[in-house]
Homo-oligomer: A and B are copies of this chain.
Amino acid sequence: MNNSDGSKNYSLVYRKELRKIESRIAKLFLKRKPGSLYEPCSYVISSGGKRLRPFLVLISAKAVNGSFSKVYNAALAVELLHNFTLVHDDIMDNSDKRRGRLTAHKKYDVNTAILAGDNLIALAYEMLLKDCDDNSKNVVSTFTRAVIEVCEGQSLDKDFELRKSVGIKEYKEMIYKKTAALAEMCCSIGAQLGGGNNTEIKALENFGKNLGMAFQIQDDLLDITADEKKLGKPVGGDLLEGKKTYLFLRALEKSKGNDKKLLQAVIKNKGIKKEEIKIYKDLYERLNILTDAKKEIIHYTDSAIKELNKLPNEEGKALLNWLANSLIDRNK
């Protein structure tokens, strides 16, 4: 870790832990029956992805002087929980593909995907409890609050689809619940199980919450600024689907006259055509929306990083700091 190029080493730690997480995930349900339930559960959780949430649990534990080994099961638990949200969200959004593969309800059927998601919630609790002891009431309570927030966030997101306008404040409340609350929970249970005191737990919760907010707005931004090959999906996809993202709502807020009408047409027509993407990208640039989004991302990332001063373990803090900065620089 005392290498002159620290960031390279942090990335190595991440990749090493990622491999361990993948190997543990691959073994999770090998002995469980019936296959009609566990085969779809395995399919869902072995779809890859960044595994950021379990990594957050690990390095949060480290940041309060806990060891990774104390929270491996909890780390898998948050990944199981995250995958429950994906499989049920994909049904609700009627998505055919995720990470280049068929979604569970397309590969199997809707009933199988509903049940696999339900089981993943329970399996997440089962996994979490393995790392719990005297602290189990608070840890399970923190975990449960996040599940409720995610459901509330998903419900708000569905509500927003039907509305003509949504304020930035409401949008932030929704992404807090749908995305940031889970990151906050990951950091909190890492800190609790790692043996952190209340100040440290609170600092890590704030770190996770702010990181989650930055992550989601970055996701909205990447949809329009990313390289299509790296993103793995069409640039401007959110506009095509008429999604009310940060960029879109901020533009709606700032625009006037014909610009506003252009944006309102996206809502009215439930999306735009592929050849119109450039018009909207130009509009976003004219209204300085991409800059606004970048400012928000930096604001939330800075707020996250500020919390690290309250933590005792240098390596853990450095890993959290590296992760926060890597997420700003990501291209997918």
Contact residues of A with B, CB < 8 Å?
33-34, 36-37, 84, 88, 91-92, 110-112, 114-115, 117-119, 121-123, 125-126, 129, 132-134, 136-137, 140-141, 144-145, 147-148, 151-152, 154-156, 158-159
Q: Indicate how many identical chains form the complex.
A: 2
Contacts of A92 in B (CB 8 A): 111, 114-115
A114→B111 contact, CB < 8 A:
no
A136 to B140, CA, bound (A): 9
Picked from B91, B121, B129, the residue with its CB within 8 Å of the CB of A140 is B129
Known: A125-B140, A140-B125. A119 touches B159 (CB 8 A): no
B129→A37 contact, CB < 8 A:
no
By beta carbon, the residue of chain B nearest A113 is: B114
By beta carbon, the residue of chain B nearest A159 is: B36
Main secondary structure of the interface of A (DSSP, over half): helix
Contacts of A151 in B (CB 8 A): 37, 115, 118-119, 122
Task: Give, as a whole number of angstroms, the nearest-CB distance from A134 to chain B.
Answer: 7
Residue in A91, A133, A141 with the greatest tally of chain B CB atoms within 10 Å:
A141
B117→A129 contact, CB < 8 A:
no
A118→B115 contact, CB < 8 A:
no
A126→B145 contact, CB < 8 A:
yes
Picked from B84, B112, B115, B125, the residue with its CB within 8 Å of the CB of A125 is B125
Picked from B88, B115, B156, B159, the residue with its CB within 8 Å of the CB of A154 is B115
Picked from B126, B133, B158, B159, the residue with its CB within 8 Å of the CB of A144 is B126
Known: A132-B137, A141-B129. A159 touches B91 (CB 8 A): no
By beta carbon, the residue of chain B nearest A117 is: B118
By beta carbon, the residue of chain B nearest A94 is: B111
A144→B125 contact, CB < 8 A:
yes
A36 to B162, CA, bound (A): 12
A158 to B123, CA, bound (A): 20
